[in-house]
Structure 1
Amino acid sequence: MSKYIHKSHNVTVLMYHIVLPAKYRRTVFDDSVDGVLTAVCLEIELRYQVKFLEIGTDKDHVRFLVQSVSTYSVTKIVTLIKSLTAREIFRRCPQVKKSLWGGEFWTDGYFASTVGKHGDEQMIGRYVKNQGNEYHKLHSDHQLALF
């Protein structure tokens, strides 16, 4: 569950629904890649002011429900997630790099929307779950630690 984040001069509860497709919309997510993705995201939580409330895959893309602070733009959050997860997935799962012809892991684009006034976390969580055909929830943590 998200909570208000209290900083020295502001209080926020900023959550984003982010969708990142794999390059060429390739089916690259399997159990090993899912495990690496989850582990890297949980490591990101330890080093940055980003909290992963939910992570789920659907063969060729990943959906995140993320909470962060106001000093992090959506672009910064997406860039952080893309760069660190791609590097570690390629390092720990070399077969993925081969299936993507040695190129990039993520597409250049992404989808991001805010979660707030017109929908709550549970509604967005259900929406994320009901997208696609074979959604696999990899991580769910609704207990927010203060940054």
Structure 2
Amino acid sequence: MPKYRHRILTGGVGHEVGNCIRAFSQHMGIEIVEMNIQRDHMHIFAMIPPKVSVSDYCGMVKGRSAIRVFNKHKELKKQLYWGNHFWTQGYCVDTVGMDSDMIRKYVKYQEARERRMEQRSLF
């Protein structure tokens, strides 16, 4: 999640984050099964080999993507609320066993589901 859950993962920023995650994951031998980048958060369904710790992977993705985003979109550094941080602290991780297809569909269609719920709340 971006710091303070700001809705900035759109356009060039969202595209850059996605490219970073794919590139760094491939470099580490991690397969991105499904990824959904929304305005204020993201979901990644990844196959992480046992030799890579989940915390190392998450730290690498968050750290390196933040550096690249700040370098490419310097206007973000000028905002008073950013400081030197792009992402919030922490992350949520779960393991997948037999229900991998269900999890994959959840990640893929989460954005459409949230839009429907937001539209319902407007009425």
State TM-score, norm by structure 1.
0.68
Question: Which segments of 5 or more consecutive residues in structure 1 lack a partner in the other structure?
Answer: 1-20, 135-147
Aligned twin of 1:96: 76
What's the secondary structure of 1:55's corresponding residue?
strand
Alpha-carbon distance in 1 for matches of 2:46, 2:37 = 15
Alpha-carbon distance in 2 for matches of 1:98, 1:133 = 30
Pick from 79, 83, 87 the counterpart of residue 63 of structure 2: 83
Are 1:107 and 2:88 matched, yes or no? yes
Q: CA RMSD in A?
A: 1.8
- The answer to which structure, 1 or 2, has the higher relative contact order (CA under 8 A, 6+ apart) is 1
What's the secondary structure of 1:54's corresponding residue?
strand
Q: Deviations over 1:36-76 (max 9, x none)?
A: 11221222134212121222122111111111210111111
- Which structure has more strand as a fraction of its residues? 1
- Which structure has more helix as a fraction of its residues? 2
Contact 1:54 1:66 in 2 (8 A): yes
Question: Which segments of 5 or more consecutive residues in structure 2 lack a partner in the other structure?
Answer: 116-123
Are 1:36 and 2:21 matched, yes or no? no
Q: Give aligned pairs, total.
A: 112
Alpha-carbon distance in 2 for matches of 1:76, 1:93 = 25
User: Percent same amino acid among aligned pairs?
Assistant: 25
